Amino acid sequence: MAAPKVAVVGAGVIGLSTALCIAETCPSCSVTVLSDQFSPNTTSDVAAGMLIPHTYPGTPIHMQKQWFKETFNYLFAISNSTEASEAGIHLVSGWQVFKNTPKEELPFWSDVVLGFRSMSEAELQKFPQHQFGQAFTTLKCDCPPYLLWLEKRLKATGIQICTRKVADLWELHSEYNVVVNCAGIGAQQLVGDEKLFPVRGQVLKVHAPWVKNFIRDGDGLTYIYPGIHRVTLGGTREKENWSLSPDPGTTKDIFHRCCSLEPSLWGAQDIEVKVGLRPSRQSVRLEREVLSQGGVKLPVVHNYGHGAGGFSVHRGTAKEAARLVGECIAALQGSSLRPRL
């Protein structure tokens, strides 16, 4: 096979980073990104992009840690380079605070982020309703900048990016040798995965440039994440809620919760409300599948279902997906060498 043709469906952080990894590991591949939505209209654009992992109940911890570590190290290098501001990658320090001391005091990722330690009594005084806390420094991927930077890197490698709504993966079988499914929440319709469900998140993006530290309540519901130009205030985690319309009552509730964590936010200006549907699953679906109809086969690599943890593991899962694409291509090339009888 001269130049294997690979289609990547989806242009959120997973689709774009997967396409980039495929280009890096398979330079002879001709890669095309197909999506009906691009930045700033993807789920990734709503997310704050904080590298604080979500724990997938169905994935072995050592694998989640590996994915996170790879992602962290990759972004760490970018944050330290001249490209940092264009890529939207920056370091941010802050606190995760708990109203009740958690059972598990050390999360699996505590030695990957920087300077992880328990908060001192003096630091906790700033959070009178919270008894325990952790301080650390991590990375943030601001979107749209990060997605736009990925698109730029992709175009530089010659990858085509096309607007197209793919209704069925099979429709690509005649044009492409391998299809990579990074459709996020769209995978529910695209491949009929009943294990995939939305977890609706509403956030506020506000102008509050004096907020330099992140604050996250350990319950995961209230968080303050300072980005380059805006601070993301969150949030909600509403299972099976498909609504993309902002709810005004929720807006007020989020704002109040965040102001009680950080009173200076009462002075925040220019509140923008956004909604995203986290593509949630017990485990990330990261595996090969072969679709076949009438003797024709189409190898597929699935890479979706990252839920609340997309940014935290995107590079690690993209690399694994690229490796699986390599396996698919090798299998295709192997079978094409078999003598026809």
Q: Give the annotated binding-site residues.
A: 43-44, 166, 223, 278
Strand (E) positions, 69-131? Answer: 89-98, 114-118
Measure the CA dihedral 106/111/115/120, to 10°: 10
Based on C-alpha coordinates, what's the Rg of the chain? Answer: 21
Task: Please list, in sequence order, all residues whose beta carbon lies within 8 angstroms of the beta carbon of residue 189, skipping any fewer than 6 positions away.
Answer: none
Rounded to a whole number of angstroms, the minimum distance from the CB of residue 133 to another protein is 10
Tokens 């940092």 sit on residue: 84
Q: Residue 229: name the closest of 263, 257, 268 by CA.
A: 268
Contact between 247 and another protein by CB under 8 A: the answer reads: no
Task: Give the integer Cα–Cα distance in Å for 109 and 134.
Answer: 12
- State in angstroms the smallest separation of the CB of 183 from another protein: 30
Q: Which stretch binds another protein (CB under 8 A): 32-40, 121-129, 195-203, 281-289?
A: 121-129
The size of the interface with another protein (CB under 8 A), counted in residues, is: 37
Q: Which residues pair with 137 in a beta bridge?
A: 93, 114
Do 204 and 232 contact (CB within 8 A), yes or no?
yes
* Among 28-36, 208-216, 241-249, 300-308, the segment contacting another protein (CB under 8 A): 208-216
The verdict on 106 binding another protein (CB under 8 A) reads no
Q: Smallest distance from the beta carbon of 117 to another protein, in angstroms? A: 7
Closest distance of CB 25 from another protein, Å: 26
When the beta carbons of 35 and 79 are compared against another protein, the nearer one is: 79
Q: Measured from the CB atom, is 32 or 232 closer to another protein?
A: 232
The DSSP string of 37-76 is --TTSSHHHHS--B--PPPPTTS-HHHHHHHHHHHHHHHH
Which of 28, 82, 293, 336 is close enough to bind another protein by CB under 8 A? 82
The helix/strand/coil state of 323 is helix
Angle at 172 between CA 171 and CA 178, to 5 degrees: 140
Under rule CB under 8 A, which residues in 129-168 are in contact with another protein?
135, 137, 142
Which of 3, 228, 296, 330 touches another protein (CB under 8 A)? 228
Q: Does 263 contact another protein by CB under 8 A?
A: yes
Residue 88 is given by DSSP the state T
From candidates 210, 287, 327, 330, binder to another protein by CB under 8 A: 210
Question: Is residue 28 near another protein by the rule CB under 8 A?
Answer: no
Interface residue with another protein, options 83, 247, 253, 289 (CB under 8 A): 83
- For the bound state, the minimum distance from the C-beta of residue 65 to another protein, rounded and expressed in Å, comes to 16
Coarse DSSP helix, strand, coil percentages of the chain, rounded to the nearest 5 percent: 35, 30, 35
Closest CB 153 distance from another protein, rounded Å: 17
Of residues 15, 88, 234, 276, which one binds another protein by CB under 8 A? 88
Place of tokens 């076949």: 292
CA distance 182 to 31: 14
**At closest approach, how far in Å is the CB of 122 from another protein?**
6
Judge residue 135's burial from the number of C-beta atoms within 10 Å of its C-beta, 0-12 exposed, 13-18 middle, 19 or more buried.
middle
Tell me whether residue 19 or residue 47 sits nearer to another protein (CB atom).
Answer: 47
Interface residues with another protein (CB under 8 A) are 79-86, 88, 90-94, 114-115, 117, 119-120, 122-123, 126, 135, 137, 142, 209-213, 226, 228-229, 263-264, 266-267
